[in-house]
Amino acid sequence: MRTEDGHIIDKCLNGDPAAFGLLVDKYKGAVYALAYSMLHDFHEAEDITQEVFLKAWKAIGSCKGKEKTFSSWLYRIAHNLIIDKLRKSQKQSSHEAELPEDVSDTSDRMEISLEQRDLLKVIDILSPNQRQVILMKFIEDMDNQEIAETMGKSTGAIRILQMRALETLRKTLNKE
């Protein structure tokens, strides 16, 4: 039995851009949230999100397993682009981007509540890999195997990153 993504991906493989638009609509929020959580910049997150889907469209035929692994494959593209961006940013500047004060003026952008902003600030103390594991596990509801595939790490490494991240968060929250 084919999944909804499987049918859509089949149409994409036949060159149907409207079908790919359905995948973009389905996954753009999650890809954007991942990019924003790592980069803390709306414009950069939007740029990364667009670049992820451009790369995905160009390489849709290489998505092995298609409907079963499409989201992991997409997250892997995002992960690689975000890491590249972070490396370039570290070379260019040593100061961190700040969260914007008001994002309600643009309807396209994700709305971030005060609680979410506070949570992002706490999560920001984690290393980029720890942060990504926590977001994928608890926000995107991915299992350790999916996270491992996305990040190119073993499931054991993912468990260790998660354990250390949760311990760091627990200590930080207990101090506050």
Distance of alpha carbon 140 from alpha carbon 115, whole angstroms: 18
- 55 half-sphere exposure, CB direction, 13 A CA radius: 15
Query: Is residue 108 one of the residues assigned to a domain?
Result: no
- Verdict on whether the full-model pTM lies above 0.75: no
Give yes or no for a contact between 150 and 31, defined as CB atoms under 8 angstroms apart: no
Query: Is residue 18 one of the residues assigned to a domain?
Result: yes
Distance of alpha carbon 25 from alpha carbon 137, whole angstroms: 22
Give the structural domain span for 168.
113-176
Q: Which has more pLDDT, 41 or 53? A: 53
The candidate with the shortest Cα–Cα distance to 44, out of 3, 2, 100, is: 100
What Rg do the C-alpha atoms of the chain give, in angstroms? Answer: 17
170 is written with which tokens?
A: 């627990």
Number of domains in the chain: 2
Distance of alpha carbon 158 from alpha carbon 81, whole angstroms: 20
pLDDT, tens digit, 9 for 90 and up, residues 92-104: 654 444 444 444 4
Distance of alpha carbon 132 from alpha carbon 80, whole angstroms: 12
Q: Do 175 and 146 reside in the same domain of the chain? A: yes
For residue 73, the domain's CATH number is: 1.10.1740.10
Q: What is the mean pLDDT of the chain?
A: 78
pLDDT, tens digit, 9 for 90 and up, residues 133-155: 888 887 777 889 888 888 888 99
The candidate with the shortest Cα–Cα distance to 11, out of 67, 64, 52, 82, is: 67
For residue 139, the domain's CATH number is: 1.10.10.10
Q: Do 1 and 86 reside in the same domain of the chain? A: yes
Query: Is residue 106 one of the residues assigned to a domain?
Result: no
